[in-house]
Amino acid sequence: MVSLLNFSIPESFNQAEFMVDRHIREGRGKNIAIYYKDKKITYEELFTMVNKCGNALKNLGVEIENRILMVLSDCPEFFYTYLGAMKIGAIPIPINTMALPKDYEYFLDDSRANTLVIGDVFFEKLEGILKDKKYLKRIIVVGNRIAGTLNFDDILESASPELKTEETSKNDMAFWMYTSGTTGVPKGVIHLHHDLLYYMIPSCEEVFKIKEEDIIFCTSKMFFSYGRNHSLEAPLLYGASVVLWPEWSRPEDILKVIEKYKPTIFFSVPTFYNLILKECETKSVDFSYIRLCVSAGEALPIDIFDRWLKRFNIEIIDAIGSTDVGGLYLSNRIGNVKPGSSGKLLPGYEAELKNEEGENVSTGEVGNLWLKNDGITCGYWRKHEKNKEVFWGPWFNTGDQFIKDEDGFYFYQGRADDMLKISGQWTSPIEIENVIMLHPAVSECGVVGSPTEEGLIKVKAFVVLNKGYEPTPELERELIEYTKSKIAHFKVPKWIQFVNELPRTTTGKLIRYKLRK
């Protein structure tokens, strides 16, 4: 295993050059970087395609610090665009492929991206909002040719395979990711070129112990921070291989992918571990080649941990990270797992648990987690007030609440701001409430997270009806179907409970903790 713990980051540093070109210099060019469908893409081929993409973007007029919005599935072109953009000093911004048109319009306007790289299967969803955008100059489509746009293969065909890396500083912007804040308004999270080596190395070497012989497979898509961390950054840091699956993950498909490629490290989320267990109830499945299973994105219920261990004789290593921090900062370790916990603090991080007055709490008490690490975002794009709220010198207020026990294990208690994490994605309850209240039968609505029998958190809505409507099972189904037609599937309530009134403060604010009870 090649260790990067003692690597000294030079003042002139480019993240893409470090993750690709370095492996050519160090003799790993023939290693497989990407398994994609029936393709095997070596590090030499990745190097060439990243260079061609960087040159193609430069030929079109993309300059240093220009933003490039990416709406792509998990595919080789994601790697070429993301790394090619960074290599020329531009800033790639991967975006959720399940977002709504109004969301993409916000991302384009807020980021001021002048280039959009989009998969052909997503183009129709965005087509209506792309005309007359103030900053957008070019649209590049991956896949079939579409009138009025540039085609990805066409622009790369004549591009040079030789590219000089832009002389970026380690403190220049490398990439952005959009996340949601306490109000549900997306925030552009800025990460610098040097951040990667601070937020990724602790988990890769302390927990995963990644070797270049490893084959990594992550069910979370790369537009999520968790997916980007472990499908792109982890393998490319250590010259390992990654399996890319472009479709939205279904347990029956994922089992076929695992059987075909035989990954040694498997990353997923609790919801999906539960689905795989159900899928395997009547099937004989061989996971003997998997040496490590990791869970993040949401808290791992003890029941799922126990069932997985009994079924496959593999401990699921539960961990937690965030887009703002960059990667994982708490994790259990192989042979040192405390089920129900998010694990212990990773090396390179400092942490404090504070109460609302900013005082450190005692062992066993709930506190907001504050972190210190040089890989944490330097700030949110155009969110001055939010920056003042969460950044205090080198310290970052995560907004997550934990209890730390006497052994140093952290137990996640939820978000201080009532945001929900459903299927690994932060979700604003206000957004769901606003949609439900558009239905003519609904007078008021309050949304919280509620556990299923397996311990997974799903959406539960409490509804006060308008006069003339009666609470019936038929109306409950109607409201669920109505919501399903308006928002992403993971935000749709699993349960709706009709109530006479919602608990509120004297000033009219909803008291969510009473709904949870």
Considering the domain architecture, whether residues 371 and 336 belong to the same structural domain is answered as yes
Reported pTM: 0.85
Q: Is residue 4 domain-resident?
A: no
pLDDT value of residue 70: 98
Q: Which residue has the tokens 């040719």?
A: 145
**Is the same domain home to 409 and 435?**
no
Residue 382 lies in domain: 197-415
Task: Give the Cα separation of 350 and 376 in Å (integer).
Answer: 12
188 CB burial (10 A radius; 0-12, 13-18, 19+): buried
Residue 248 confidence (pLDDT)? 87
Return the axis-axis angle of helices 43-59 and 76-87, rounded to nearest 10°: 60
Q: pLDDT tens, 420-447?
A: 888 887 677 878 888 898 899 998 899 9
Q: Give tens-digit pLDDT for 9-46.
A: 999 999 999 999 999 999 999 999 999 999 999 999 99
472: exposed, middle or buried (Cβ count in 10 Å: 0-12, 13-18, 19+): exposed
- Residue 183 located in a structural domain: no
**Quick one: 317 and 454 in the same domain?**
no
pLDDT in tens, 53-77: 999 999 999 999 999 999 999 999 9
Task: Please write down the HEC assignment for all residues of 301-321.
Answer: CHHHHHHHHHHHCCCEEEEEE
pLDDT digits (tens, 9 = 90+) for 487-502: 888 899 999 999 999 8
Same domain, 85 and 138: yes
Average pLDDT, the chain: 93
> What pLDDT score does 507 carry?
47
Here the CATH number for the domain that contains residue 394 is 3.40.50.12780
For residue 353, how many C-alpha atoms fall within 13 Å in the half-sphere facing its CB?
20
Domain boundary among 388, 415, 442: 415
Q: Do 235 and 369 sit in the same domain of this protein?
A: yes
Q: How many domains does the chain contain in total?
A: 3
What's the rounded Cα separation, in Å, for the pair 514 and 502? 9
Same-domain check for residues 272 and 221: yes
Residue 473 falls inside a structural domain: yes
pLDDT range class, residue 517, cuts 50, 70, 90 = confident
Is the pLDDT confidence value at 462 over 60?
A: yes
Whether residues 438 and 495 fall in one domain: yes
CATH at 484 = 3.30.300.30
Q: Say if 468 falls within a structural domain.
A: yes
Residue 180 is predicted with a pLDDT of 58
Do 252 and 377 lie in one domain? The reply is yes
My answer on whether 215 and 289 are in the same domain is yes
> Does residue 8 form part of some domain?
no
Distances in Å between the Cα of 101 and the Cα atoms of 122, 123, 310 are: 10, 10, 44
212: in domain? yes
Confirm whether 327 is domain-assigned: yes
On whether both 411 and 473 belong to a single domain, the answer is: no
